[in-house]
Structure 1
Amino acid sequence: MVMKFAKKLSVHAAAALLMAAASASAYSAPKTVLVLGDSLSAEYGLARGTGWVALAEKKVKAQKLDAEIVNASVSGETTSGGRSRLPALLTKHKPGLVVIELGANDGLRGLPVAAAQANLKAMAEAAGQAGAKVMLVGIRIPPNYGRDYSEKFYAMYGILSRELKAPLVPFMLEGVAEKTELFQPDRLHPLAAAHPTILNNIWPVLEKSIKAK
């Protein structure tokens, strides 16, 4: 009788320990933030650790936020390229939040706005199906292909944000785009000195998104 009771007790104790371990694991694992961007997030032409994503990582650590940032940005990336790469990234990193900073290269090449919008929407839906929330980072492009095209391109982000109910940074280069002294010689890629301002534009939305349950 005593042995039977002890055995029963040990089974319950083991079950309790397993549940406690699972619970601790669920709450102690940091939220993975996957940044899917182009050269503006991939530190093109910059020393490693000086771009806005690296600065965001430092801020996350300084504020002791329960998050780990994975930068999967690639210079030259388009919305089409991001869409094709995302499934493997979702499987590998299992993010809780996906920050999509794409579209600039589509706009600079004059690619159809409808195609870019469809790609961004598909990425957001894929992230959602994988259990991740989505945050959009918008960009304005020069009027190389006419004012109508550039305005439609910029408006695309707001349309998607409302449709997907995804938080949006309207223009990541706010306070930078008009200052030529903050750009590399190509006039397209900001210098390291501009990236704290870029982070200031992105951080309020990113911080809120990280903290969201």
Structure 2
Amino acid sequence: MLKTHNTQFPFKLPMSWVLKLLKFSYFFMAIVLLSCGDVKKEVTNEDLNTTEQSEETSATIAATKNILFFGDSITAGYGLDDSDDAFPGVIQQKIDSLDLKYTVINSGVSGETTAGGRSRIDWVINQEVAIFVLELGANDGLRGVPLSETKSNLQAIIDVVRAQSPDTQIILAGMELPPNMGQEYTSGFRQLYADLAEKNNLAFIPFILKDIGGVAALNQADGIHPTIEGHKIVANTLWETLRPLLNR
């Protein structure tokens, strides 16, 4: 007679442990089956639309060009409650109304001199700029800075822009001084802008405050900085020179 051997576990597992082991085994088998199979994600129309919108937004940002206004308190909009009321902001409104792909950057600093502008131009122009509007010098003139120094600083700013961004178009906005600064100084001050524009072949606005200077109703109480209505006139003056350069 054959004898059978009874195989027994050296210890007995509680039933609760056995059930847990069985559940873990089923879970492990499910993971293996999923990992071996082909898991495909359905691409919905919503996913495609989101991708297309992202691509369109990126393309729009890439297509937008910058117009950088580099100036003093006139550009900054000194005395206005909202800086968007300054002439660069008005220019942006004109651009948007025509659906032109340009973004205005206001880099005006109240009290800025040409020396101050020269010291900060390197990092300001460290971006893509299609059009550069240079409006500096008034504070030099009111302080009686030597004309040669003002002219040298403006030329240095132009040189930096040309060196770092050769394709950038530059508009030079000229300024005039009140007669109490003396005829010789005021005449020389006016002329230095014309000389710079001719030497560098720049688009040129002889007097950025044309039709505003000396008109009390269009200036703030200090008689120097334009009101909101005054800035609209400045924007119109600038627009005559700026508009032909857009999309050139």
Tell me how far apart the structure 2 counterparts of residues 26 and 193 of structure 1 sit (CA, whole Å). 32
- 2:151 maps to a residue whose letter is Q
Q: Does 2:98 correspond to 1:63?
A: yes
Shift in Å at residue 203 of structure 1?
A: 0.5
Deviations 1:157-201 (A, max 9, x none): 111111000101111111111311221111111111211111111
Structure number with higher relative contact order (C-alpha < 8 Å, ≥ 6 residues apart): 1
The one of 47, 68, 86 aligned to 1:51: 86
Which position in structure 2 is the counterpart of 1:152?
188
Tell me how far apart the structure 1 counterparts of residues 76 and 204 of structure 2 sit (CA, whole Å). 20
Decide which structure has the larger Cα Rg and report it. Answer: 2
TM-score by length of 1: 0.84
The one of 108, 111, 117 aligned to 2:142: 108
Which position in structure 2 is the counterpart of 1:12?
none
SS in 2 for 1:40: helix
Which position in structure 2 is the counterpart of 1:13?
none
Which position in structure 1 is the counterpart of 2:158?
124
Task: Report 1:180-191 matches (<5 A).
Answer: 180-191=216-227
Shift in Å at residue 50 of structure 1?
A: 1.1
The one of 173, 184, 195 aligned to 1:137: 173
Deviations 1:26-77 (A, max 9, x none): 9952221111010111010012121111000111111122211110100000
The one of 69, 79, 84 aligned to 1:35: 69
Shift in Å at residue 145 of structure 1?
A: 2.3
TM-score by length of 2: 0.72
Which position in structure 1 is the counterpart of 2:201?
165
**Structure 1 contact 167–209 (Cα < 8 Å) conserved:** no
Which position in structure 1 is the counterpart of 2:120?
85
Moved over 6 A (4+): none
Tell me how far apart the structure 2 counterparts of residues 26 and 58 of structure 1 sit (CA, whole Å). 18
- 1:103 maps to a residue whose letter is G
In structure 2, runs of 5+ residues without a counterpart are 1-54
Task: State, as a whole percentage, how many aligned pairs show the same letter.
Answer: 32
Which position in structure 1 is the counterpart of 2:11?
none
**Structure 2 contact 214–223 (Cα < 8 Å) conserved:** no
**Structure 2 contact 88–106 (Cα < 8 Å) conserved:** yes
Deviations 1:75-119 (A, max 9, x none): 00011111111100111x321221100000000001011111111
In structure 1, runs of 5+ residues without a counterpart are 1-20
Deviations 1:142-164 (A, max 9, x none): 12320110111011111111100
**In structure 2, do the counterparts of structure 1 residues 180 and 27 end up closer, same or farther at CA, with 3 Å as the change threshold?**
closer
- 2:108 maps to a residue whose letter is S
- 1:95 maps to a residue whose letter is V
Tell me how far apart the structure 1 counterparts of residues 60 and 198 of structure 2 sit (CA, whole Å). 31
**Structure 1 contact 40–189 (Cα < 8 Å) conserved:** yes
Tell me how far apart the structure 2 counterparts of residues 28 and 195 of structure 1 sit (CA, whole Å). 30
The alignment's C-alpha RMSD in Å is 1.8
- 2:183 maps to a residue whose letter is R
Tell me how far apart the structure 1 counterparts of residues 194 and 226 of structure 2 sit (CA, whole Å). 24
